[in-house]
Amino acid sequence: KPCRAVHFQQRLPTSAPFVFSKMPVRFSCTSFAPVGSRLAVIGNCPELGDWSLERAKMMEARLGQGRLQSEPDFHWVDVELPQAQQGVEYKFVEFCGGGGGVKWEETAGGNRHVVLDGERAGEVQLLPVEKFGTNATESDHTASFYSGVKQRGEISVRRVTSQIFIGSCPRSTQHIDYLRSLGITAIANFQSEDDCKRNCVAGMGMEENAQAVRGEYDRRGMQYIWMPTADMCSEGRTQMLPRASHTFAELLRAGHVIYSHCNAGVGRSVSAVCGYLTFVLGLTDRQMQHVVASSRPAAFFDFEALRRARPSFDGTFGKDVGTRAHIDDEFCKRRDATATTLSNTPPGTSRVRFSVAYATQHDDGSRVVVVGSCPELGSWDVRMALVMESCGPDFHVADVALPMPAGHKIDYKFVALSGDSERWEEFSIGCNRHLEGKGDEHVILPVARFGQLYGDQKQREEAMAVIVP
């Protein structure tokens, strides 16, 4: 129950009432509470119920009925608190299902305290993601979840963004087929060699050869990346993080959908995703924690490994990331500053602006075109494709009027032409770019990089939308 404290507050003159503006603050925690139980946050201010259970703020469960038997859930609620209010104390409570009463979390050191340190997503202030009433070690936390998954021969898969999944190791070819059915095209495995032999896909000889599973992925057209990393080892994660973060960036830019796994999908595979979100996309540790914990409540966060790995990543890949972001900003400015080449837009069409970064040689007549699945883009015939205007040797823009009613889809690619030669964009997952109509009069597409299906900004926007949709 709460550790109560007496707070003395200075009364404001009744003749001059003052109303403090409020701000949304996100309270969140992970809990192994059974399905059917509900969690709430309760505290020493009216907004948190003044320690009254009847007025506690009920929290939403992210996974709810869809979680595995031994899987924790992520619980959260946004509470409007006065901006100038200090000394707010709180705890999480569990309302047990089936009339089982109320369970107060027991925390060392008394109540929790609201400390606002400027971490936010949009207008929402983000407190750290807590664990309900526990300071369990990584080993204990993993065992609470994974022992049941392993015993039942399950696979636990959770989606973080449209291109990133985290989970436990597959144990059968049926599990691999399931991953493929989710649209996953690349497997990032962080198991050590001994892990692969003890926690393996049955029936293919992984007990003797940890690489035996590669053939199963090859037959399904899935890319397999094995980055063996010691389990329960912060130093091992520190060494793995720079390469893994960069590898994830390259795969995602190429359009791959990644499944990151170790044994349980709790430590090493989580760290790789955390490194990508922070090192490459620039999320803060707090933002990253909310993105990952809300998607993968079983996650364990090794903030110390991330801190130690950052200088190595910056020294090896960081210049590329920083330069890339600066160049992308410049390309966006050039795209927006370029005057349209359309004198008018026919009724029933939308003015669509394409732009791509690609270096050409002006003196040999090189040019870039947009070719696609509609007549306005040549119906995949390069001879009839939309020719782009060069804005310097490395950037190209084109406007076109397209019929784009809501839901209408167009596939397209960029093609570089030089003399009689054609260079088509090639994506490792063998697909096209897509444009879907939303009924807008003007459509300005993100600046594309030739041969890279998705930019980092798309990934960042998706990740942040996990916190605040």
Give dist(CA 163, CA 160) in Å, integer: 8
| 3-state SS assignment for residue 354 | strand
Q: What are phi and psi of 321, to 5 degrees?
A: -65, -45
Tokens of 144: 């609470």
Q: How far is CA 459 from CA 8, 121, 208, 389, 466, in A?
A: 47, 15, 38, 28, 11
Residue of 262, 274, 332, 374 with catalytic role: 262
- Amino acid of residue 467: I
Burial zone of 405 (CB within 10 Å; 0-12 exposed, 13-18 middle, 19+ buried): exposed
Instruction: Return the DSSP state at 243.
Output: H
Give me the count of residues in the chain. Answer: 469
The single residue listed with the structure tokens 């950052």 is 310
Positions of E strands within 51-139: 57-58, 60-61, 73-82, 89-95, 102-104, 112-113, 120-121, 124-126, 130-131
The contacts of residue 3 (CB under 8 Å, 6+ apart) are: 89, 110, 111
First-residue to last-residue Cα distance in the chain = 34
Q: Beta-carbon neighbour count of residue 310 at 10 Å?
A: 18
DSSP string of 421-447, one letter each residue: EEEE---TT---EEEE--S-SEEEPPP
Burial zone of 3 (CB within 10 Å; 0-12 exposed, 13-18 middle, 19+ buried): exposed
391 part of the active site: no
The answer to whether the CB of 448 falls within 8 A of the CB of 355 is yes
Residues assigned a catalytic role = 262
